[in-house]
Structure 1
Amino acid sequence: MSKYERLIIYPLLFLALFSALTGVNIVNATQQVLERIVAREIVVVNDEGQEVAVLKYDEQKQNASFEMFNNDGRRVVSLLSYADGGAVGIFNQEGHLTAAIQNEANAGAFLLYNGTKDMTKLVALRSGLYGGVLEINNAQGLPTGIMGNNAANNGYLGLFKGELLGFLHPQIMLNVTQEGPTIDLAK
């Protein structure tokens, strides 16, 4: 063995002997099952060390979240807890919200967004006061059509101008009442 080989081999042998005698694990490659893990944040990384999932508690918002990321590091799925319930958000490759399932006024809602930084809601399917409601919005996020149930547990369909105040005054309202169907037109 040459002089230079001894400079490499002997220190490694001493390190291995020291680790074996003191019980220090330099590399721990065994699988362990733990009964409980207590942490404020758990981060899962890929082989390159990039975050692919994060489970954490946010002190300021006082809620827990679980987020998953794509290969570009952009969030693609988010599960949230908050004071009024929970939510699941789905994001596109650019990291913009495209769909959400969430609690809304103590009832469920499924919302579809335009997938841009504006987060404009285009479609909403939610529980309403008298039953299910389907809301269709224009590119500005303002309602243009609503289909749902009225107070008599019958159906209605309303078509609106697609402007903020136009939502208060339907242009066409199809409604089923106890007396039969009605059609109301804006004047």
Structure 2
Amino acid sequence: MVLSLVFREETWCFTQGEGQGIQPRDIVCRIMAANHEGSRRVQRRAASASHGRAWMTRHHERRKPLMHAQQIIATHPQVKGNTNDALIRCIEQCYDCGQACIACADACLGEDMVAQLAQCIRSDLDCADACFATGAVASRRTGSNEAVIRAMLTACETACRACAEECERHAGHHEHCRICAEACRACERACGEALRSMQPG
């Protein structure tokens, strides 16, 4: 006869009548201990999976856009909620692209082959300046200066295209150039869409 008691994480076995066809105490204990350890492994895997899902959720939340262009421009007293959504998307893309270009230029300066990246650095910095200036001018709603906004959008579109083409030349060797090229292409498209959304004044 075999009696077992599970107390916390330890298994205690008691046997009676060994030698009368009943399994020896040590074999029974090993079987029970193996079952207990298997259960603990399942619990650990479940806990690990839960932790992984929680990390992915937090990581995804951190990656959510933090721009407030849509919200704050909509509150402008002369806008009264009537926003140009294409232009607002362009503002957000301009700031995103400007940051990517600054980071790419800095990463290029850290490369061993920095001399070969001189044009890329120049393109990055020119594009960043154009993006930040365009984002700032396009964010203003007091009064009207659409001719200047259109000129800025055109210049920014040109700068983004040039920077994207230069970064794409190095994308195969430098990941930061690949990422920057993607940001520049997105901003180039956004500038074009914003231009098409504006009627000549």
Q: Same fold (TM over 0.5)?
A: no
TM-score (norm 2): 0.26
Query: Relative contact order: is structure 1 or structure 2 higher (C-alpha 8 Å, sep ≥ 6)?
Result: 2
TM-score (norm 1): 0.27
